[in-house]
Amino acid sequence: RKEVEQDPGPFNVPEGATVAFNCTYSNSASQSFFWYRQDCRKEPKLLMSVYSSGNEDGRFTAQLNRASQYISLLIRDSKLSDSATYLCVVNTRRNAGNMLTFGGGTRLMVKP
């Protein structure tokens, strides 16, 4: 079983739609959680951190459920520019220090 699992998609949605992505992680010792966005042939960029209390940034809302080891990302009023791959990322402490483990990514395509 992969340490961080995501539905690869693609999610094809019209502009203005609301879309939700889910992610599960297997390591209960994981400490912090993030959503990254990666455009084609570019490096990942931090979208937002994820907290149990929920985190909202404009049209984006992220939520963590530690009991279920489940992370979500909700995008409201989708824009064409939201088309990208969204990576669920988990930070786990190891002997060598903290490390990020990436999910396989969920591809979003927003169409006019």
Chain residues binding another protein by CB under 8 A are 32, 41-46, 87, 91, 96-105
Q: By C-beta, is 69 or 101 nearer to another protein? A: 101
What are 15's two structure tokens?
């502009």
Q: By C-beta, is 43 or 68 nearer to another protein? A: 43
Q: By C-beta, is 20 or 99 nearer to another protein? A: 99
Residues facing 23 on adjacent strands? 6, 71
Pure H helices in 1-112? none
Q: How do 70-75 and 19-25 pair as beta strands?
A: antiparallel
Q: How far is the CB of 62 from another protein (least distance, A)?
A: 16
Which H or E element spans position 107?
strand 106-111
Q: How far is the CB of 102 from another protein (least distance, A)?
A: 5
Q: By C-beta, is 20 or 46 nearer to another protein? A: 46
Q: How far is the CB of 30 from another protein (least distance, A)?
A: 13
Residues whose CB is less than 8 angstroms from the CB of residue 59 and which lie 6 or more positions away in sequence, other chains included: 75, 76, 77, 78, 79
Residue with tokens 């909700």, as numbered in its chain: 74
Q: How far is the CB of 47 from another protein (least distance, A)?
A: 13
